[in-house]
Amino acid sequence: MEYINADLTKIYDSADYPLGAKRVVDGCEDRFIAFNDGDGNVAGVAGQLVYYAYSGTTTVGPFTVTMDYDTATVIKTYIQCAAGFLQAALTNGKYGWIQTKGINRIAMLTTGNVAAGEVLIPTAANGSVDGVAAAAVTTRDIGFAMADDASTAQAVGSAYINCL
């Protein structure tokens, strides 16, 4: 199913769609996810990078994500588990959509050092990406910049996302 009419910016109280449901429209791909705020109680911010989570002391199901990239107790994740970019500001236990592929629809948080043509990679700051030359990639890349960032934001339409 395509879920073409799904409201990508809605914060869902329950799983109105199957977790992992994929929506593909105009070259962009989105997935329906559950949100967990992790050990650090990091609330989700629209446009910021989230990571797939797996069970720690709390059991989480497939397609659960967190912005707490270094969570290691309640739930676990690691920086190579970059899942996509939140389309709404989610809190613990809520559901929503992440963009996993295509031209970014929401401004993305960056380090402030992204230049056009650079590969985008996750950083050690919750929800943030950085740009590096292709030869310097040391972690899984998640897309590329089509324009320089503006301060600490990659403007709408200025990056191509390619997450899991």
Its domain, for residue 117, covers 108-162
pLDDT digits (tens, 9 = 90+) for 101-130: 999 999 999 999 999 999 999 988 888 899
Main-chain phi, psi angles of 131, to 5 degrees? -115, 140
DSSP notation for 40-84: TT----TT-EEEE-EESSS---TTEEES-TT--SSEE--GGGEEE
- Helix, strand, or coil (residue 134): helix
Do 97 and 121 fall into the same domain? no
Do 77 and 119 fall into the same domain? no
Residue 48 has pLDDT above 80, yes or no: yes
Q: Is residue 4 part of a domain?
A: no
Q: Is residue 29 part of a domain?
A: yes
**Where does a domain end: 86, 102, 118?**
102
Do 128 and 90 fall into the same domain? no
Q: Output the average pLDDT for the chain.
A: 91
Residue 110 DSSP symbol: B
Q: Per the structure, how many domains does the chain have?
A: 2
Confidence of residue 60 (pLDDT cuts 50, 70, 90): confident
Confidence of residue 1 (pLDDT cuts 50, 70, 90): low
pTM to 2 decimal places: 0.93
User: How far is the first Cα of the chain from the last one, in angstroms, to the nearest whole number?
Assistant: 19
Is residue 155 within 8 Å of residue 102, measured between CB atoms? no
**Where does a domain end: 51, 73, 102?**
102
Do 57 and 120 fall into the same domain? no
**Where does a domain end: 102, 126, 154?**
102
Is residue 83 within 8 Å of residue 65, measured between CB atoms? yes
Residue 118 DSSP symbol: P
Highest mean pLDDT among 18-22, 75-79, 128-132: 18-22
